Structure 1
Amino acid sequence: MKVAESVEVAETGPTRADRTVSRRVLVGSTIGSAIEWYDFYLYSTASALVLGPLFFPNQSPTAGVLASFATYAAGFVARPLGGVIFGHFGDRIGRKSMLVLTLIIMGTATFLVGVLPTYEQAGVLAPILLVLLRVLQGIGLGGEWGGGVLMSGEHAPLNRRGLFASFPASGFPLGLFGSAVVFRLVSQLPEDQLMTWGWRLPFLASIVLVFVGVFVRLGVTESPEFVHVRETGGRSRVPLTGVFQQGWAPVLRGAFASLGLAMIVSIYSVYLLSFASSGPHDGQGAKVLNGLLIGALAEAVLLPVAGLLSDLLGRRPVLLFGYTVCALVSLVAPQWLLSGDQTLIVLTFLLAMGIGHAAVYGAISAFLIDMFPPEHRYSALAVTYQLGATAASFGPLAAVAIAGSVHTATPGILLLWGCLAAAAVAVAAGRIPRPGEVSARPVRQEAERTGTA
């Protein structure tokens, strides 16, 4: 095939994707993503509810929360490393094999958390092992996110890339919902049973989900854009270098846009969950978990809608709308979550997660994909998305440290506003490439180099 013909394939190939193949890719990416986020956010929910006294018992209540949030952040710190490692091999070997491997890593680490000894049983070794497994989780998830959205986005018709790429993003609220459901169920146990063996059950159950996810992912086909790059000899020896050779502007814009996205999750589903669970009303923790469950379900439904709207209206207006909604809801979120009123609690998560975060998350995958060519796209998503997510992971830790013993949500809300403002500026500044515009660039450059265009 001549390179001139390759340009045609690169620009139109995904639009000819067989519907059955596309459907299988969407299902495989979404199920795998849901399982990995379930594994990852099991720890997040547990860190807000039970892990402090189990693994950091010789601390004041505030110090215990700080310690558990620090291990929560450790998983995010490891995500860029996982992103770079799996991004490199995803750009060199392929997206599919990396997705299977990351799922196995995540599932194994999550299962092992469920068999860890507590501080009472093993002393200081217990929190050390917990942190190591959390780091392993972060490495796995760091490689999974980029591969999942690329498999869906690169199989998509160019005018529906936002819709296709939003489906694996739906794995986040589904995983968050699943982790919250199981902790809601085990929290019904008497406290002595919950703190001895009940908290382990959600972690142990993840191994079953991993077998299901691996089976599904083994049945999907490789990304057509990656196959085209491989067949035309467009793969780079070190794909990460191509990311920075493209320029710092897309990297910084992607990282700040991702920072806003991830800070919404850190503040609403971790920091405010912990803040509101210690409120003055009976059953406050259960009410907040109920609200988070409903918000997660709403987000799972609305994420594809946001992805489709980003195809119809553009990525920028959908992203800015989502940032704005989350910022405005934060003005009343602490009061509503502490009110003890289940309706207000549910409304908080419906607006912030179900609408605001859904808008951002539904559009950001295609936003990032559009900015980078396929030969180093996996690595580019690792650098941009994972750096933003890692910085946001310190939000709960920083907010608790600033508040100290004072029961206030103000530090967390201010951090959220600062990150959302930075994200909005990054999205609003500069030109956003049209779908497929950057994708065809390396093929055209090859054509010019060989003189076959």
Structure 2
Amino acid sequence: MTVLADPATRPQVRRVVLSSFVGTSIEWYDFFLFGSAAALVFPTVFFPESAPQTAILLSFMTYGVAFLARPLGGILFGRMGDAVGRKNVLVITLLITGGGTFLIGCIPGYTSIGVWAPVLLVLMRLVQGLGIGGEWGGAVTLSTEHAEAGGRQRSRGLLTSAIQLGVPIGNLFAVGALAVMSTTLPEEQFLAWGWRVPFLASALLIGLGLWIRVAVHESPLFTKSEQAEAPFREMLATHWRQVVLTVGLRIASDVSYYVFAVFALSYLASGLGLSSSVGLYGVIVGSIAQLVTIPLSATLSDRFGRRPVYICGAVAVGIWAFVAWPLIDTASTGWVILAIAVGIAAQGVMFGPMAAFVAEMFSTRVRNSGASFGFQIAGVFGGAIAPFVAQLLLTTFGSTSAVSLYVVLTAVLAVVSALLARETHRSAIDA
């Protein structure tokens, strides 16, 4: 089946890209807010009776459980997107993720309700994971297919990178919100109630996201294609290799990002005795840098191909892993901010072309299911365990060199996966 470009769909392409960008930014704000709070707040608020290092590990475990729910969300909402349409699924995922975030801000601390506090925290984190599990695949699929139908095939990388920009934007607002609260309030007040304000603010963001998303149209490729009766089962039968390659491509991106954006915050405070704001500023600078590296790398992938750009990003991440941690260990504010910021910016080189690279691997009948499932399964082996593994390596070996090696090994996996993947930047995706 071939879908010819329809000039009438071109304004809708811009609308879909904007809605995907805004909605994804809001959902990642919700998701990353938990990660930053897990490093800075939750050990004290929800695990006060544990030893400091144990409290950090427990906090990172609550952070990681969302990644266990994300594949389930990917399966559920990916299948729904392939069966009944992409648009409505994105409205549902926004409500689920934002609702979980708001409720986290309402959970009393351990001193008020005891063990029920961390139990409720875990439950709401699972809710967040379920929603975010269906978000990325749906947004990427909708934007990619609108770009194809609107005659913007040669710009698929750049257009879908708007979804990837939602990640640093979301993290920027999440970290920025916590940084403002932590620097303007005394520590006692910040731990008592100040950290809750950014979580409760999610209610306002949900309203904004819904207002934008309900105005977009359904994917033209989806409406003109024959829907699969069992899209997830068909995807596993016909596209299992693409799923495996998606997992291999993404793990390094996840590990490198969360090691710098989450684990580093904890290491600075507990290992080096630095103010938590130093790490937060590093993440903020890195997120701003990604606003350049993500669309730039996506644009280059439209011209030179997804594979070479992705490999360059993986190599950059691997090299910087051995440069960054000695800089961080100097405990110098300037070097610390630089090390974290460059690490996050380098990850953006991989992240920019990733949306188009993954979506282009799958056919329209199973694209939502395949992109969602592969992306979220990788999260279990990447972002879910990255802060925990990094902390465990540090505790076991007493050196950040082990953390550097951990990042490098995942970068090697990304290079191998990219070499095995088919180049897709000039391929039609309407089959």
TM-score (norm 1): 0.90
5+ long unaligned stretches in structure 2: none
In the other structure, the counterpart of 2:269 is 277
Which amino acid in structure 2 is aligned with residue 402 of structure 1? L
Summarize the Cα distance change of 1:418–1:282 in structure 2 as closer, same or farther, 3 Å threshold.
Answer: closer
Conserved? CA contact 1:321–1:359, under 8 Å = yes
In the other structure, the counterpart of 2:187 is 191
In the other structure, the counterpart of 1:175 is 170
Q: Which moved more, 1:409-418 or 1:381-390?
A: 409-418
Distance 2:340 2:14 in 1: 30
- Larger Rg: 1 or 2? 1
Q: Give the root-mean-square deviation of aligned CA atoms.
A: 1.7
Give the length in aligned residue pairs. Answer: 425
Give the C-alpha shift of residue 340 in structure 1: 3.6
Give the C-alpha shift of residue 298 in structure 1: 1.4
Distance 2:54 2:190 in 1: 22
Alignment counterpart, residue 384 of structure 1, candidates 370, 374, 379: 374
In the other structure, the counterpart of 1:447 is none
4+ runs of 1 displaced by more than 6 Å?
A: none
- Identity between Structure 1 and Structure 2 (%): 34
Which amino acid in structure 1 is aligned with residue 175 of structure 2? A
Secondary structure of the 2:322 match is coil
Give the C-alpha shift of residue 405 in structure 1: 7.2
Alignment counterpart, residue 82 of structure 1, candidates 49, 70, 73: 73
Alignment counterpart, residue 259 of structure 1, candidates 251, 254, 271: 251
Alignment counterpart, residue 153 of structure 1, candidates 131, 134, 144: 144
Distance 1:302 1:271 in 2: 22
Secondary structure of the 1:408 match is coil
Q: Is 2:211 aligned against 1:215?
A: yes
Alignment counterpart, residue 96 of structure 1, candidates 87, 112, 134: 87
Distance 1:433 1:41 in 2: 31
In the other structure, the counterpart of 1:246 is 238
Distance 1:405 1:252 in 2: 31
TM-score (norm 2): 0.95
Conserved? CA contact 1:326–1:351, under 8 Å = no
Distance 1:184 1:430 in 2: 40
Q: How does 1:228-377 map to 2 (within 5 A)?
A: 228-229=224-225, 234-280=226-272, 282-283=274-275, 285-354=276-345, 356-377=346-367
Give the C-alpha shift of residue 8 in structure 1: 3.6
Alignment counterpart, residue 429 of structure 1, candidates 415, 420, 427: 420
1:405-445 deviation digits (Å, cap 9, x = unpaired): 775323332221111111110111243345444x343xxxx
Which amino acid in structure 2 is aligned with residue 266 of structure 1? Y
Which amino acid in structure 2 is aligned with residue 221 of structure 1? H
Give the C-alpha shift of residue 281 in structure 1: 5.8
1:213-263 deviation digits (Å, cap 9, x = unpaired): 11111111111211221xxxx111110112122243211111110111111
1:180-212 deviation digits (Å, cap 9, x = unpaired): 101101112111101111111110011101100
Summarize the Cα distance change of 1:218–1:122 in structure 2 as closer, same or farther, 3 Å threshold.
Answer: same
Distance 2:394 2:281 in 1: 26
Conserved? CA contact 1:371–1:432, under 8 Å = no
Alignment counterpart, residue 397 of structure 1, candidates 368, 384, 388: 388
Distance 1:369 1:247 in 2: 12
5+ long unaligned stretches in structure 1: 1-6, 442-453
Distance 1:341 1:143 in 2: 40
Distance 1:33 1:17 in 2: 25
